[in-house]
Structure 1
Amino acid sequence: MSFLNSISRMGRSARQKSRVNGDVDVGMPDIAVYGEKPLYLCEPFVRNALIKGSFRTIVALPRYVHPYEWIANNLFDFFHNLNLFYGIISEFCTVQANPTMAVGVGIHYTWVDVNRKPIPLPAPQYIDFVMTWMGRLFDDEAVFPTKAGREFPQSFLITARQMYEQMLRIFAHIYYAHYQWLLHLSCEGHFNSLFAHFIAFGKEFSLFDFCEFKGSGNAANGAPACMGGVGGPDSPAVETAELRDIAAAHVNAAGERVPYPGVCDLIESWVNLGVLPREVLQ
């Protein structure tokens, strides 16, 4: 409860600190072009966290608790906390500033319309669709049962993985496009702790696959990073020449440049620093 209260207080102070004379102070550096690497990879920010030590104790399944019940409760907590953080920076996530759901240099996600056609959406609209979709699932007794005698559906793990993947995309977008605001508001430690917890939990319960997220799947065929996904659902990542940064891009087996989400570097850094177990990368 204290963590949630601290985020709520942080959100109220955020709007006060981010405005000067009634106008938004936009004099912050763009992390995509600031220096040689993103701010979230720079010292001391990469180490800033509220939690020290191993996350395994936090994510471990409690005795006598059903795994689905534990996954459901944690997904809801992640959803709630992520929603609070997005609320802090939402006024900076605009159609003009974020015309695509970008999660790294050269990669952004698309939504799927009613005709199953991938369509690019501005980040705020994409995130609104995702959060609305997940909110309805949490309220659906057939998916997340709360009453005595009700069982989780057989498809629960599939749904849980889809929801996890979409929250992962929102985390990646905030780090890539809005981390400077979290840093400006001195709440990067809160966000880093939440994301590290999120990754550790996903790995513990097979909701997260680093190789798949980084896009090292069918590299020989030149597959773009982070293909596939849900939430649209089934929305692929789209790579465009305009968004590709050759210097920062990945090289696949075919010798082609393939981008990947910027937070992949953060996850690898945390593994090297001992924040996350090395198994996260496997």
Structure 2
Amino acid sequence: MCHAVVLGVLFSLPSYLYSAVPFRKARRKEREGEPTGDPKLYLQEALLERKLPDIDMRQLVDLPHGLDYNEWLASHTLALFEHVNLLYGTVSEFCTAATCPDMTGPGGRTYAWYDERGKKSRVAAPQYVDYVMTYTQKTINDETIFPTKYANEFPASFESVVRRVVRLLFHVVAHMYAAHFRHAVLLGLHAHLHLTFAHLTTLHRRYALLDQKETDVLRDLESALQLTPAAGGAGAGGGAGDEREESPRRRSPVVTQPLATA
């Protein structure tokens, strides 16, 4: 039987790491259609800082003994949604149909949107992000998926839902690195973006939430931030486990099929 999803003591862990983030509305400094700069700016050594207290990222995402696995996933999913939404909001003024006609990630990756019926459509980045945030907000507010009331249980498909949400949030983060990292630097938010990426990446590596083809676009940043595990063990900074590591409650491989692929 599952208890309320949002456990204050758990949710405060991710939130604490992001405390004192100076979120504010950016002023428009670029003209419509002006290039957004070098998409690999985020790899420059001087810009690889991240707001991180003395805590191992693996320790942050490891499931505490006696805690329900679904509740743990839910708490991290909620935290990631909140912070990705806030970070994108600071640069959204620069993300328009004119400046970002496609939803792109690093290395020329382009993301198409798939609706709940599997229909594929090409949309501008701000429309794509709006779809992501609307879908995620609707999902986490659905009591049958993210239960908050006593005696309500998580559905059998919960992990599959989390996989889709995390994948879509990763797309938004990837777009921010590809098209708006310079804006984040100008606003002094790049370290917080790095931390959000580190949180998402470590969570994924611990519970195998994303396919390798999704994460390849930012593999170089994983290495630069020392999130990639070293051969035969954990990576620097606590890093994360092997991407193929099984979820704590799995005893055999499980294939999950999302509602739709985006």
TM range (shorter): 0.7 to 0.9
Give the equivalent residue in structure 2 for 1:198: 200
Q: Distance in 1 between matches of 2:179 and 2:73?
A: 29
* Amino acid in the other structure paired with 1:11: F
User: What does 1:56-67 correspond to in 2, within 5 Å?
Assistant: 56-67=58-69
| Percent of aligned positions that are identical | 30
Residue 168 (structure 1) aligned with residue 154 (structure 2): no
Cα 1:193–1:116 change in 2 (3 A) is: closer
Residue 269 (structure 1) aligned with residue 231 (structure 2): no
Cα 1:279–1:60 change in 2 (3 A) is: closer
Cα 1:81–1:112 change in 2 (3 A) is: same
Q: 2:132 aligns with which of 130, 133, 138?
A: 130
Residue 6 (structure 1) aligned with residue 11 (structure 2): no
User: What does 1:111-190 correspond to in 2, within 5 Å?
Assistant: 111-113=113-115, 116-190=118-192
Q: Distance in 2 between matches of 1:269 and 1:281?
A: 18
What's the CA shift string for 1:180-229, capped at 9, x where partnerless?
A: 011111121111112101110111122134x2325xxxxxxxxxxxxxxx
Give how far 1:117 is off: 3.5
Q: Secondary structure at the match of 1:137?
A: helix
Structure 1 unmatched runs, 5+: 215-259
Q: Distance in 1 between matches of 2:50 and 2:208?
A: 26
* Amino acid in the other structure paired with 1:196: A
Give how far 1:43 is off: 1.1
Contact 2:204 2:243 in 1 (8 A): no
Contact 2:18 2:51 in 1 (8 A): no
TM-score normalised by length of structure 1 = 0.71
Give the equivalent residue in structure 2 for 1:25: 29
More displaced, 127-136 or 115-124?
115-124
Give the equivalent residue in structure 2 for 1:245: none
Residue 73 (structure 1) aligned with residue 97 (structure 2): no
What's the CA shift string for 1:16-43, capped at 9, x where partnerless?
A: xx43xxxx2128973336xxxx111001
Give the equivalent residue in structure 2 for 1:41: 43
Structure 2 unmatched runs, 5+: 1-14, 229-234, 245-262
Higher share of residues assigned strand: 1
Contact 1:49 1:189 in 2 (8 A): yes
Q: Distance in 2 between matches of 1:279 and 1:62?
A: 16
Contact 1:29 1:180 in 2 (8 A): no
Contact 1:53 1:275 in 2 (8 A): no
Q: Secondary structure at the match of 1:75?
A: helix
Give how far 1:57 is off: 1.1
Give how far 1:119 is off: 1.5
Contact 1:127 1:170 in 2 (8 A): yes
Cα 1:195–1:110 change in 2 (3 A) is: same
Q: Secondary structure at the match of 2:178?
A: helix
Contact 2:205 2:240 in 1 (8 A): no
* Amino acid in the other structure paired with 2:77: L
What's the CA shift string for 1:28-74, capped at 9, x where partnerless?
A: 973336xxxx1110011124433456311111112221010000011
Q: Distance in 2 between matches of 1:105 and 1:181?
A: 19
Cα 1:82–1:131 change in 2 (3 A) is: same
Give the equivalent residue in structure 2 for 1:212: 213
Cα 1:58–1:118 change in 2 (3 A) is: same
Q: Distance in 2 between matches of 1:195 and 1:113?
A: 25
Moved over 6 A (4+): none
* Amino acid in the other structure paired with 2:208: S
Give how far 1:281 is off: 5.9
Q: Distance in 2 between matches of 1:124 and 1:189?
A: 23
More displaced, 42-51 or 55-64?
42-51
What is the aligned length? 221
Q: Distance in 2 between matches of 1:190 and 1:114?
A: 32
Give the equivalent residue in structure 1 for 2:97: 95
